[in-house]
Amino acid sequence: MSVDLNQKIYVAGHRGMVGSAIVHNLRTKGYSNIITRTHAELDLTNQATVAAFFRLEKPSQVYLAAAKVGGIYANSTFPAEFIYDNLMVQNNIIHQAFTGGVKKLLFLGSSCIYPKLAAQPISEDALLTGKLEPTNEPYAIAKIAGIKMCESYNRQYGRSHGVDYRSVMPTNLYGPGDSYHPENSHVIPALIRRFHEAKANNAPEVAIWGTGTPRREFLYVDDMAAASIFVMELDKATYDGQTAPMQSHINVGFGSDITIAELAKAVCSAVGYQGDISFDASKPDGSPRKWMDSSKLNQLGWKPSITLEEGLALAYANFLIRL
Ligand SMILES: NC(=O)c1ccc[n+]([C@@H]2O[C@H](COP(=O)([O-])OP(=O)(O)OC[C@H]3O[C@@H](n4cnc5c(N)ncnc54)[C@H](OP(=O)(O)O)[C@@H]3O)[C@@H](O)[C@H]2O)c1
C-alpha cells in the first residue's frame, strides 16, 4: 500500500520516551509534515484548547503517545491524577480528532490493561476477563477506556465517516528518553542508575529487591516506534483481519522474557560494573511472569530488530549524555 509522506501527522507526547522515538522514526521514513505541541503550549486535559488545536491544524493522522505515566510509587501515590489526566487527555484527543475529521489514529495503551492473573503469554483476548493489578488499576481503567473509545468510534462512525482508530499495547519499554528518577523509574533505568553509581563509587556489591526469579519482557523504544508506524501503515482489511470490532487492540512485545537476575547481569555488563550482585528475598517480587503474546503482530509481518544487549548499550550511552 502506498503511504502519503506529506500528510499532516500530529504526534501527541512528542517529548516523551515513546513520542520522541515515533517522531524520529517517522522522519527517518520520510514523513515530512509532523506537527507537535509541548505540554506548556497545549494542555491536553483542556477540552476547549484541544478542540481549537484540531480546528486550526486539521491533521490527517494522530499518534496518541501523551499520557501520565509512572511506576508503582507514582501510581499508588497519585491515583486520582492517573485516572483523571489519562481519561481527559485521551477523551479530548480522540473526540476532537473525530470532530476535526481525523480518519486514522493510534492509541498507545499498556500491558497493565490485562488481568493480574492472566494466562501466559497474555493474548489480546485476555482483556476484561479478570481483576487488574490493584496498584495501577486507575491507570489501567483509563487505558481500557481508551481502547473502548477507539472501538466505539469505529463502530459508530467507521462506515459513515471512514474512521479507523487503532490501539497497540506495548510491553515494558526502555531506551533514550527514559525516566531515571530515583523513586519513580521502571526496572531497567533503575538498574542502570544503581550499577552506574556502584561503579563510580567502587561499591563491592549491589543488592536487588526480590529473589531475581520473576520473568519480564522488555522492548527497546525504537522498536516500539517502528511497530506503531507499521500498525498505522497496515491497510484496513489487513488490520481488520487480525482484530475484531470489539477487540481491536494489538500486543507489541519482544517475543521472549528473561528473569530479573538475567536482566541484572545484562545491565551490569552494559554498564561495566565489576562487583557482585545479591538478591534481597525479603523484598516483594511482584507477579511471577508478565509475558505478552505478540503472535498477531508477528503474523502481520513485524518483529523487533534490537536485541536486549544492543538496547542496553544504547540506553546506557543516553544515560551518560544526560548526567
Ligand atoms: N514507558 C513504558 O515502559 C511504557 C510501557 C507501555 C506503554 N507505554 C505507553 O506509551 C505512552 C508513552 O509513554 P512514555 O513512556 O513515552 O511516557 P513519557 O515519557 O512520560 O511521555 C509522555 C508525554 O506525554 C506528555 N503529557 C502528559 N500529560 C500531558 C498533558 N496533560 N498535556 C500535554 N502533554 C502531556 C508529557 O509531557 P510532560 O512531561 O511535559 O508532562 C510527556 O511528554 C503512554 O501511553 C504509556 O502508557 C509506556
Q: What is the pLDDT of residues 226-235, one digit of tens each?
A: 999 999 999 9
- pLDDT value of residue 288: 87
Ligand 1 pocket: which of 20, 35, 39 to mutate (most atoms within 8 A of CB):
39
The pLDDT value recorded for residue 73 is 83
pLDDT of 72: 81
Does the active-site annotation cover 139? yes
Nearest CA to ligand 1 atom 7: 110
d(CA 320, CA 323): 5
Any ligand 1 atom below 6 A from CB of 251? no
Of 139, 153, 165, 273, which residue is the catalytic one?
A: 139
What average pLDDT does this structure show over 86-112?
A: 98
Query: Ligand 1 pocket, 234 CB below 6 A?
Result: no
Query: What pTM does this model have?
Result: 0.97
The Cα-based distances of 163 to 22, 97, 156, 175 in angstroms read: 22, 10, 9, 32
Residue with cell 523509574: 185
For ligand 1, the distance from its centroid to the CA atom of residue 121, given in whole angstroms, is: 25
Query: Is residue 182 predicted with pLDDT exceeding 80?
Result: no
Per-residue pLDDT at 193: 96
The average confidence (pLDDT) of the chain is 96
- How remote is the CA of residue 16 from the centroid of ligand 1, in Å? 5
| pLDDT tops 70 at residue 191 | yes
Nearest CA to ligand 1 atom 42: 16
8 CA to centre of ligand 1 in angstroms:
21
Residues 131-171: tens digit of each pLDDT: 999 989 999 999 999 999 999 999 999 999 999 999 999 99
264-289: pLDDT as tens digits:
999 999 999 999 999 999 988 888 89
Whether 187 lines ligand 1, by a CB cut-off of 6 Å, is: no
pLDDT, tens digit, 9 for 90 and up, residues 19-78: 999 999 999 999 999 999 999 999 999 999 999 999 999 999 999 999 999 888 888 899
Q: What pLDDT does 70 receive? A: 87
What pLDDT band is residue 185 in, cutting at 50, 70 and 90? confident
Q: Is the CB of 96 under 6 A from ligand 1?
A: no
Q: Ligand 1 pocket, 70 CB below 6 A?
A: no
**Residue 1: what pLDDT?**
60
Q: Ligand 1 within 6 A of 110 CB?
A: yes
Going from the Cα of 42 to the center of ligand 1, the distance in angstroms, rounded, reads 14
Beta bridge partners of 280: 209
* CB contact at 8 A, 247 and 113: no
Distance 6 CA to ligand 1 centre (A): 26
Which residue, judged by its Cα, is nearest atom 13 of ligand 1? 18
* For the CA of 45, the nearest atom of ligand 1: 31
